[in-house]
Structure 1
Amino acid sequence: MSIELPSHDRYAYSAIGDRPDFSWPQGWRLAVYIGLNLEHFAFGEGLGAALVPGRAKLDVLNYAWRDYGNRVGAWRLLDLFEALDLPVGLIANSAIADYCPELVTAYRQRLNTELIAHGRTNSETQNALDERGESTLIVAARDRLAAVFGDTPTGWLGPWIAQSQVTPDLLAEAGFAYHLDWCHDDQPTWMATRGGESILSVPYPQELNDIPAIGVRAADYREFACMIVDQFDEMLEQSQAQPLVMGIALHPYIVGQPFRLRVLRQALAHIAARRDEIWLTTPGAIAAHYARVFPAAG
């Protein structure tokens, strides 16, 4: 007897080996992007990865630890990315536009970057709101980033990747072309929305992500660097059969620490040395190319 399970009804099952073949630009088979999360938190309250969990208010320790990322870590990472000539997807809270806009400006001046909306602050989650409140959050984050930096983001990553039942619908209605909230595949996926207009899901890593790997599973920093190298080498081989997307998710207050930065540099240099064999790019470029090859049905 079959069982009826609740379903999201956003996409149908598809085995990766059964899909039509295609290539990324210039015949590349593996697209690689870095997603750098630029986040700002409420002082002494709200959500956030914890250096020491369970701290009572006023939580100066965890606030200051995260603030290190914007004041120091992100600037060290900027030097690293520039030295290796790596494009970066800037996944930014709109609060960054008011707290330290010079950080985003420096990245945009020195690197090939894409600005990606990441809610207002990671001190809140959008699925804690009703539909009207969530819609307000999405539009406010989009519009604030556009007003300060001059570009309207086409991509979205929710704070804490906390979608509600209607998040894809609200994102499509707000004009977003893609989101990074789902980690279910190594290729982009079209997702249905209530308005009939599809939105693209671009793969975003939850394994090759420094918060789950280091902050939650307590992986050693050298282990995380090895994960990047092994993921890259394996996916480069796998991509001969199917074109793939490899994302690397980083947070400056974690990998911007000097001891982690040192081995991260080695791992990213390993990837950069193979740049002639891969597409080093941004999530938005991946979404745009895929949409040209496989236009949305709706």
Structure 2
Amino acid sequence: MARDPGFYDYLPYDDRRPPIRWPGGARVAFWVAPNVEFYELNPPRNPARAPWARPAPDVQNYSYRDYGNRVGFWRMLDAMKRCNMRGSVSLNVAVCEHHPEVIEACAENGWEFYSHGTYNTRYLMGMTEAQERAVIQDSIDTIKKHTGQKLDGWLAPALTYTERTMDLVAEMGLTYVCDLFHDDQPGPVRVKKGKLTSIPYSLEMNDTIVYNVNLVSPRRYADILKRQFDRLYAEGEKSGTVMCIPLHPYLIGQPYRLAAFEEALSYITSHDKVWLATGREIAAHYNEHYHDAFAAAALPVGEAP
């Protein structure tokens, strides 16, 4: 039986060489990843996973998430603008058709778009290679058509994959993925063709985990974000780290949650030596300067000391 997924090799955090240096001498590459999503009321059935907890039509859960595109997104956008923070949009590309006004607002503010699949209610598991290629190509084409941007990043819809996903996104020209949660620095992903990097995208900082799983208060979430940043900022003096805040507008955009998020965001962005980046920018810098050296130094997991 395989010991690990085989997507990455082992390189101890404590003494990696060369040390990562971010632009401008920054200690932390900081990025914010709003998940701009669309959930279908009654999507096609996937035998491996039901889209809703309640019988169809699950109006309760559908409308709860619809709040994000109608209301929560706009509050989140204003808070990020006040802190001069661009977003890297984890995009269900169907939003381009359902809510073009949201896409336009992101583009106007210089945000990056990367793919989170077509809908968050359509999963990759169980797809054939041809079907999965079609989903990736649709993301490439739709983002180019509606935003003019090249697609560089991938976060699988609802975090669902096949054994081919990493190889396919690399082969089709993408440069980074957010689906691996194994590190606080970027790292090479083992693929058959191309060059692919894993960019840290933290489940611990993700508002879905914080609010819906760990059931913490908004004030506690602000404290968590600050503590995460403080540790990564201190360690980043030795070798640059990455901090990500993944967000969902239907959660972070609730009126009573927004002030605590903005407080933490203001705290982080007010520090010197913080690179306010996008996922694409982090991946490009790492791929140019560190990917090959880290890949050469790492050991397969089975050979790790």
Alpha carbons 1:187, 1:203 under 8 Å: kept: yes
**2: CA distance, partners of 1:63 / 1:9:** 36
**Residue number among 128, 135, 140 corresponding to 1:142 in the alignment:** 140
Instruction: Please list the CA deviations of residues 189-215 of structure 1 after superposition, one character each: whole Å capped at 9, or x if unmatched.
Output: 1112123x2311111111000111211
Show the 5 A alignment for 1:1-298: 5-20=2-17, 21-45=19-43, 54-109=53-108, 111-195=109-193, 197-274=194-271, 276-296=272-292
Q: Percent identity?
A: 33
Residue 22 of structure 1, CA deviation: 2.6
Alpha carbons 1:44, 1:63 under 8 Å: kept: no
Q: TM-score, normalised by structure 1?
A: 0.91
Alpha carbons 2:93, 2:143 under 8 Å: kept: yes
**2: CA distance, partners of 1:102 / 1:184:** 35
Instruction: Please list the CA deviations of residues 48-69 of structure 1 after superposition, one character each: whole Å capped at 9, or x if unmatched.
Output: xxxxx73211111111110110
Gaps of 5+ in 2: 46-51, 297-305
Which SS does the other structure have where 1:176 is aligned?
A: coil
Higher mean C-alpha deviation, range 33-42 or range 238-247: 238-247
Counterpart AA for 2:114 = I
**2: CA distance, partners of 1:289 / 1:282:** 11
What RMSD in Å do the two structures reach over aligned CA positions?
1.8
Q: TM-score, normalised by structure 2?
A: 0.89
Alpha carbons 1:86, 1:112 under 8 Å: kept: no
Counterpart AA for 1:199 = L
Which SS does the other structure have where 2:31 is aligned?
A: strand
Gaps of 5+ in 1: 48-52
CA, structure 1 residues 183+247, in 2 after alignment: closer, same or farther (shift >3 Å)?
Answer: same
Residue 222 of structure 1, CA deviation: 2.1
CA, structure 1 residues 126+280, in 2 after alignment: closer, same or farther (shift >3 Å)?
Answer: same
Instruction: Please list the CA deviations of residues 47-99 of structure 1 after superposition, one character each: whole Å capped at 9, or x if unmatched.
Output: 9xxxxx73211111111110110011111111111111111101111111100
Which SS does the other structure have where 1:129 is aligned?
A: coil
Residue 121 of structure 1, CA deviation: 0.6
Structure with more contact order per residue of length (Cα contacts < 8 Å, sep ≥ 6): 2
Which SS does the other structure have where 2:20 is aligned?
A: coil
Residue 38 of structure 1, CA deviation: 0.2
CA, structure 1 residues 238+46, in 2 after alignment: closer, same or farther (shift >3 Å)?
Answer: farther
Which SS does the other structure have where 2:119 is aligned?
A: coil
Counterpart AA for 2:162 = S
